[in-house]
Amino acid sequence: MDRIRRLAMISLHTSPLDQPGIGDAGGMNVYVIELSRRLAQQGIEVDIFTRATSSALPPVVEAFDGVQVRHIHAGPFEGLTKGELPGQLCVFAREVLRAEAAQPVGHYDAVHSHYWLSGQVGALARDRWGVPLVHTMHTMAKVKNDALATGDTPEPAARIIGEEQVVEAADMLIANTDIEAKQLINLYDADPGRVEVVHPGVDLSVFRPVEQAAARAALGLPQDAHVLLFAGRIQPLKAPDVLLRAVAELLAQTPSLRSHLVVPVVGGPSGTGLEHPESLAQLADELGLTDVVRFVPPVAQDELARWYAAATAVAVPSYNESFGLVAVEAQAAGTPVLAAAVGGLPTVVRDGHSGLLVDSHEPRDWAAALRRVIEDPALRVRLEAGALEQARKFAWERTAERTLEVYERAGALMAQSVS
């Protein structure tokens, strides 16, 4: 196919303009806007279609030069959960097709959809416009259900069916890591020839080394503290409770650490965590950690970078991560990461070099990992250097280049199927 000039990016259930860490906004939001920005820098016009969640939103917002976010009216602006959005797929798809129909014939050269809901719309657009569909799952129901957090709600059968349909319809599937590619092939019968691994990136101009003392002074943190940070959406899947229970275990073993320990939790309730938004604060109280834990609302990226720089270590104890943007962002700030050895995290975190991988979610195992970083300054220095080295492997510019190659391959495969 000819060079991509215009791209339709579909992100139905969450806008790339939303603040990550609030509601359903998270790593996917960062992925969509950062990838679109880098594609635009290569001369590609990108229209991002997302559902409007407020009457105050303008129909079109120019996010960057060459990147427009188009707000589609589909259902009530507020009050719809992600589980209720399948009922709005038809009207959302209709409005996307209507927006394209107002343009000259052949306006878009490809469609890139994100998450299964968007994939359903993308499949319809693909057939209507006669252009290739590339899809990125980000998360998969079968994988989530296989590694369900205690007390979390399984993904419904309707989502599984919807994902299977999108896998079958897409010309190419982008997996964040090798393990995600294998999951697509083994769990969803994806054609191996239509699956390509493209790692997400990190903005190295935002997430970069900053003097820890300066970052702590700006945030009002004690200079001599051991700062153990959790950043992300507060929900069972992300397992912030594992960090709190590990800290309680650590303090039970070594009470003298209490006066030098700060555990910031930066983020807001999301997903099933919205059902009991106060549960993590209640857990902190039950564990006797209210003097140690600090709850911080979601912050902008530049402020988040300061929190990473201020931390002794960043904990990512999730039950599953398709990639783990928090882990790579923290490493880009030169901060070691303690991560669960699940999903894409072993790809992002190099065990013993840029951080430590923990093979369980048991508080005792996490307490032991925390203790290693706290009590071994030489290890900490080595991990800090390794974190910076590891983060340099991930850059959005490289992600955009590889994604463009996938678009071109998708176009070639579509042309072969038509001929």
Distance CA 177, CA 190 (A): 15
Give yes or no: residues 70 and 115 share one domain.
Answer: yes
Q: Give the residue ranges of the annotated binding site for 1D-myo-inositol 3-phosphate.
A: 13, 24-29, 82, 115, 139, 159
Query: Quick check: is 207 in a domain?
Result: no
Annotated binding site: 13, 19-20, 24-29, 82, 115, 139, 159, 233, 238, 299, 308, 311, 321, 329, 335
Name the E strands within 225-348: 226-231, 261-266, 293-296, 313-316, 337-340
Beta bridge partners of 133: 111
Owning domain of residue 240? 212-392
CATH number of the domain residue 287 falls in: 3.40.50.2000
Longest CA–CA span in the chain (Å) reads 73
Do 180 and 242 lie in one domain? The reply is: no
Say if 86 falls within a structural domain.
Answer: yes
Look up residue 92 and give its two tokens. 């959302």
- pLDDT tier at 273, thresholds 50, 70, 90: very low
Distance set, CA 31 to CA 14, 39, 194 (Å) = 12, 12, 21
Q: Percent of the chain beyond pLDDT 70?
A: 96
Residue 295 pLDDT greater than 60, yes or no: yes
Question: ∠29-170-402 over CA atoms, to 5°?
Answer: 60
Task: Give the model confidence (pLDDT) of 74-106 as tens digits.
Answer: 988 877 787 888 889 999 999 999 999 999 999
Mean of the pLDDT values across residues 53-68?
93
**What distance in Å separates the CA atoms of residue 176 and residue 336, rounded to the nearest whole number?**
22
> In the prediction, which pLDDT does 83 show?
82
- Enumerate residues 6+ apart whose C-beta is below 8 A from 287: 244, 245, 247, 248
In a domain, 385, yes or no: yes
Quick one: 269 and 188 in the same domain?
Answer: no
Residues 6+ apart with CB under 8 A from 54: 77, 78
Q: How confident is the model at residue 275 (pLDDT cuts 50, 70, 90)?
A: low
Instruction: Assess whether 342 and 406 both reside in one domain.
Output: no
The DSSP output letter for 85 is G
Inside any domain, residue 316: yes
Query: Which residue in the block uniquely carries the two structure tokens 């503290």?
Result: 225
Same domain (yes/no): 320, 195: no
Please enumerate, by residue number, every residue annotated as part of a binding site for Mg(2+).
308, 311, 335
User: Are residue 30 and residue 43 in the same domain, yes or no?
Assistant: yes
265 and 385, same structural domain? yes
Q: What is the DSSP letter of 152?
A: P
Kindly state whether residue 227 falls inside one of the protein's structural domains.
Answer: yes
Same domain, 373 and 308: yes
**Binding-site positions for UDP-N-acetyl-alpha-D-glucosamine:** 19-20, 27, 233, 238, 299, 321, 329
Same domain, residue pair 117 and 99: yes
Considering the domain architecture, whether residues 168 and 238 belong to the same structural domain is answered as no
Q: Is residue 1 part of a domain?
A: no
pLDDT, tens digit (0-9, with 9 covering 90-100), for 161-185: 999 999 999 999 999 999 999 999 9
195 and 320 assigned to the same domain: no
The reply to whether 413 and 271 lie within a common domain is no
- The total domain count for the chain is 2
User: E-assigned strands of 238-363?
Assistant: 261-266, 293-296, 313-316, 337-340, 355-358
Report the C-alpha gap between 65 and 366 in whole angstroms.
Answer: 44
Give the single-character DSSP code of 99: H
Closest listed residue to residue 314, CA positions, set 350, 282, 266: 266
pTM to 2 decimal places: 0.90
For tokens 């060459």, what's the residue?
A: 66
Task: Give domain status of residue 147, yes or no.
Answer: yes
Helix (H, G, I), strand (E, B) or coil at 227: strand
Percent pLDDT > 90 in the chain is 83
Q: Which two tokens stand for residue 380?
A: 């900490």
* Residue among 364, 319, 309, 312 at smallest CA distance from 339: 319
Q: Is residue 333 part of a domain?
A: yes
Residue 201 three-state SS: coil
Band (pLDDT 50/70/90 cuts) for residue 26 is: confident
pLDDT at 247: 98
pLDDT band (50, 70, 90) for residue 147: confident
Q: Is the dihedral of CA 87, 172, 163, 113 positive or negative?
A: negative
The secondary element (H helix, E strand) that includes residue 308 is: helix 301-310
